[in-house]
Structure 1
Amino acid sequence: MASLQRSIFPSIHQKFLPSNSSQVNNASSGKRVSVLGKADRVSSTTTASCSSLSYQDGIARRKLLALGATIPGILLFSNTPISFAAESKKGFLSVTDKKDGYTFLYPFGWQEVVIEGEDKVFKDVIEPLESASVNMVPTGKEDVREFGPPDKVAETLIRKFLAPSNQKTKLIQAKEQEIEGKTYYTFEFMAQAPNYTRHALSVICINNGKFYTLTTGANERRWDKMKDRLYTVIDSFRVFNA
C-alpha cells in the first residue's frame, strides 16, 4: 500500500492533467467523434454523461501511468499458449487479448470504441455510462496483496484514479479471491456527479509484470436492471501468461 500511496503527489497530478477533449473512434464503423472533457461544454444530460465518462477514462489512464512510473517495470514475456478464454454465456460476447494476457465477457449489443490511452473499451451507445474498460500499467509487484488489503487499495484507487476529484465517491464493498493461483480484488463503488450517479464495479490483478484494472458500471437509475450483467463482466475477468 505504501508504494501505491507514494505515487500520489501534487506534481504527478499536474504532470498528467487531461486535455480539454479526447478523440474517440468507433471501432466497428471507423467513425471518429470528439468527446468534450468538461461538462459545462455540453448541452444535454446524455451528452454530458458520455463526455464525463470519456474524461474519466482518460484521467484514470494518466493517473495509473503515474502509478506505474514509480514502480520498477518488470515485463514478462513467454510463448505460453492460451489454454482458456472467458467462458461463453448467453447474452455475452468474449474478448481475449493474447498480447497482453487477459480475457473477459461483455454484454451483447455493446460496441467497441477506441479511447486514447485505454487498452479496451466496450459501451452501450444509448446508455453511455454502461461500459467496460481495461487499463494496464507496468509494475514490479507480483501480487495485489503487496499493496494492502482490498478495502484500503480500493479506496485509494477510487479516490485517486477511478473518479474525478470533484465527484463524491463511496466504497460499498471490497473482497479478495484467489483463482488458479492469481489474486483478484473486486470492489463496488459509487461516484456522484452534479447531474448523475454512476454505480460501478472494478477488478484488479497483477500478472505479466502488469497491474490490470477492469471497470464497468451503469447509471444508478439503471443499476437494478444492469447489476447482474455487470457482475458477470467482473467475475469473468481472467489474466494469463502472455
Structure 2
Amino acid sequence: MSKTWRALLAVLCALTLTACSGSTAGLNSFQSPDGRYAFLYPTGWTRVSVSNGPQVVFHDLINSDETVSLVVSEVDGDDNLSQLGSAVAVGERLRRDVIAPEGSGREADLVEARERDASGRTFYDLEFAVHLADRDRHELATVVVDRGRLYTLATSTNEERWPKVQNLFERVISSFTLLI
C-alpha cells in the first residue's frame, strides 16, 4: 500500500472517529407522538410508565435510580417564561413546591440557575442538590413555556454518580427542543 493510500486511510479513520464522538454519541432521540417536542436520552435506558406522574420517564437499566423525566403543566396561554419569574425565582419555586415541599422529608438547594436561548426560545437551566434521609441526589432541569404549557425536563442521579454523568446529563437537558 502506498504512502498516499495510508495517509488517506488515516485521515478517513480520524474523520470517522471524530464523527462518532459528536455531541449525540451515547444518546438516543425521543420525539413526542404529537410532534411537539424532542429530546435525547442515554443509550441503554428504557422508557417506563408512571401513573399520575411525569408524561415521559426513562431510567437506566443498571443504575435504576438515574432518570430522565418530562412534566408538562398548564399555564396561562399568554404567559412566557419571564412572566413566571427569573431563572432563580422559577428554580426556587420548583425547589420549594415540587422537589422538596414542606413535610416531604426532603431538602434541596438550588445550586445554579441560568437563562439560555435556543431556537428563538428562552430556557431556564437549573441545578439542584437534593438531600434525602438516606442519600444525597443531584438533579438538572430545564424549563420552557410554549402555547400555555410549561415543559420541565429533568435528570436525576445519586450524588456519588454525579461526577461521572454530569456532562451526559447536561447534553440531555440542553437537547430539549420544541418542534412546533
Fold equivalence (TM over 0.5): yes
Letter aligned with residue 131 of structure 2: Q
Letter aligned with residue 104 of structure 1: F
Letter aligned with residue 110 of structure 2: L
- For residues 128 and 208 of structure 1, what CA distance do their matches in structure 2 show? 33
Asked if 1:123 corresponds to 2:59, the answer is yes
Runs of 4+ in 1 over 4 A off after TM superposition: none
- For residues 34 and 81 of structure 2, what CA distance do their matches in structure 1 show? 21
Name which of 165, 168, 171 aligns with 2:107: 168
Match of 1:134 in 2: 70
Gaps of 5+ in 1: 1-86
Q: Percent identity?
A: 32
**Aligned runs of 1:129-208 on 2, under 5 Å?**
129-140=65-76, 141-164=78-101, 165-208=104-147
Match of 1:106 in 2: 41
1:126-182 CA deviation, whole Å, 9 max, x = no partner? Answer: 322211000111211431110111011101111111335321111110001111221
Name which of 95, 103, 106 aligns with 2:30: 95
1:41-90 CA deviation, whole Å, 9 max, x = no partner? Answer: xxxxxxxxxxxxxxxxxxxxxxxxxxxxxxxxxxxxxxxxxxxxxx9711
Superposed CA RMSD: 1.6
Give aligned pairs, total: 155
Bigger radius of gyration: 2
| Residues 101 and 208 in structure 1, CA contact (< 8 A), matched pair in contact too | no
1:182-236 CA deviation, whole Å, 9 max, x = no partner? Answer: 1100110011001111100000001132110111011000100010111111010
Gaps of 5+ in 2: 1-21
Letter aligned with residue 113 of structure 1: V
SS in 1 for 2:49: strand
- For residues 38 and 23 of structure 2, what CA distance do their matches in structure 1 show? 11
215 and 163 in structure 1: CA distance in 2 versus 1, 3 angstrom threshold: farther
Structure having the higher strand fraction is 2
Q: TM-score, normalised by structure 1?
A: 0.61
Letter aligned with residue 144 of structure 1: L
Q: TM-score, normalised by structure 2?
A: 0.81
